[in-house]
Amino acid sequence: MSIRIGILGYGNLGRGVEKAVMANADQELTAVFTRRDPAGVKTVSGCPVLSIEELPGKKDEIDVLILCGGSATDLPEQTPEYASMFNVVDSFDTHARIPEHFDAVDKAAKRGLRIGVISCGWDPGMFSLSRIYAHSVLPNGRDYTFWGRGVSQGHSDAIRRIDGVVDARQYTVPVEEALEQVRSGKNPELTVRQKHTRECYVVAQEGADLARIEKEIKEMPNYFADYDTTVQFISAQEMKEKHSELPHGGSVIYSGQTGERKHVIEYSLKLDSNPEFTGSVIAAVARAAYRMNAEGQTGARTMFDIAPKYLSPETDEWLRAHYL
């Protein structure tokens, strides 16, 4: 019997999850739920689109509900709310608020006898796993995370909010020299500026003051001021042709020691589509959430709490024979 999946929120991530569920032989899509008018939403898979108001009535038709909203305002409300009715998985990534989010989801999920897995994807997610495994094995060590080359949607949005900007795409780029230093096991101290540069492609309104836009981008606190940032103005046509994909990736490099001897562990991702890969991680976690709840487990979880076998569609015997 298939694991029945519901998706709440149908943006880039929602579509990425949908594609992943379609690729998983043991999962099927019950419906996509949206706050918009369902009549205006068409799914890739052809599955039904329903209003978010119908969710509570679908308790018996959904094994795991995947929450594809944003971390700023959607997930802090939605994940606890629905964790009391469904097994849920989210990709909450506001680092500083993870402890309180975990607690809220834990209470709701325990009340509803469900499992709620938060902060799934690749960072937080696969990169977090890479960090915990490395640190557990080599306590005497240090981790470095590099992101990119890839599109940061948060930084792209920040540029789009500037007056006179029609569209923007921001690429985060790791500094090759810093990467090499870390890979060599030198454990360098690196500033924010030494680790990444930021490349911005901007479509401006006709007649806009380009110098002012460039200055506003480069001086934007937190987002750009601490980085070497380049800004290039391009046409809407060029934006569409060259920058319509959402590639991303990066590396977690852990450099540790046993006495005098050094060991370098690197986990790296090169992703043609950030939302599709993130959606694929989330779909695998949904399988784990379903199984853990079927065993009687309840409450909040992160990927740290999930034994790898729960993520896999294969049997324990097959995994030992083929992947060990």
| Site of interaction with its own copies (CB under 8 A) | 16, 19-20, 23-25, 95, 98-99, 102, 119, 124, 126, 128-133, 135-140, 183, 185, 258-259, 261-273, 276-277, 279-281, 284, 287, 302-309, 311-314, 316-317, 319-321, 323-324
Give me 44's structure tokens: 């890739």
Interatomic CA distance for residues 278 and 224, integer angstroms:
25
Q: Could you give the CA distance from residue 220 to residue 154 in angstroms, rounded to a whole number? A: 13
Nearer Cβ to its own copies (21/165): 21
Nearer to its own copies, 58 or 262 (CB): 262
Q: Min. distance of Cβ 314 from its own copies in angstroms?
A: 8
Give min distance, CB of 218 to its own copies, in A.
31
Q: Which is nearer to its own copies, 129 or 203 (CB)?
A: 129
Task: Give the residue with the Cβ less far from its own copies, 1 or 25.
Answer: 25
Q: What is the DSSP string of 15-50?
A: HHHHHHHHH-TTEEEEEEEESS-GGG---SS---EE
Q: What is d(CA 192, CA 51) in angstroms, rounded to the nearest whole number?
A: 43
Closer by beta carbon to its own copies, 189 or else 260: 260
Identify which of residues 113 and 321 has a Cβ nearer to its own copies in the complex.
321
**In the complex, least distance from residue 68 CB atom to its own copies, rounded to whole angstroms:** 15
For residue 87, give both structure tokens: 């097994």
The two tokens of residue 233 are 């103005």
Are 117 and 303 spatial neighbours (Cβ–Cβ below 8 Å)?
yes
Chain Cα centroid distance, residue 24 = 19
- Pairing between β-strand 165-174 and β-strand 150-151 as defined by DSSP bridges: antiparallel
Q: At which residue do the structure tokens 């080599």 appear? A: 138
Give min distance, CB of 309 to its own copies, in A: 4
CB of 54 to its own copies, least distance (A): 28
Shortest approach of its own copies to residue 28 CB, angstroms? Answer: 15
Considering the complex, state which of residue 88 and residue 303 has its C-beta at the smaller distance from its own copies. Answer: 303
E strands, 205-247, where? 228-233
Select 20 or 165, whichever has its Cβ closest to its own copies: 20
Residue 131 and residue 119 in contact, taking contact as beta carbons nearer than 8 Å? no
Least distance to its own copies, CB of residue 224, Å:
26
Q: Where are the beta strands (DSSP E) in the chain?
A: 3-8, 27-34, 49-51, 64-67, 87-89, 115-117, 141-147, 150-151, 165-174, 196-204, 228-233, 248-258, 261-271, 299-301
Distance CA 199, CA 164 (A): 19
What is d(CA 57, CA 76) in angstroms, rounded to the nearest whole number?
22
| Minimal distance, residue 136 CB to its own copies, in Å | 4
112: which 2 tokens? Answer: 């509803």
Pick from 153, 184, 146, 148: nearest CA to 168: 153
Report, in Å, the least distance between residue 42 CB and its own copies: 17
Report the residue number, 179 or 264, with the smaller CB distance to its own copies: 264
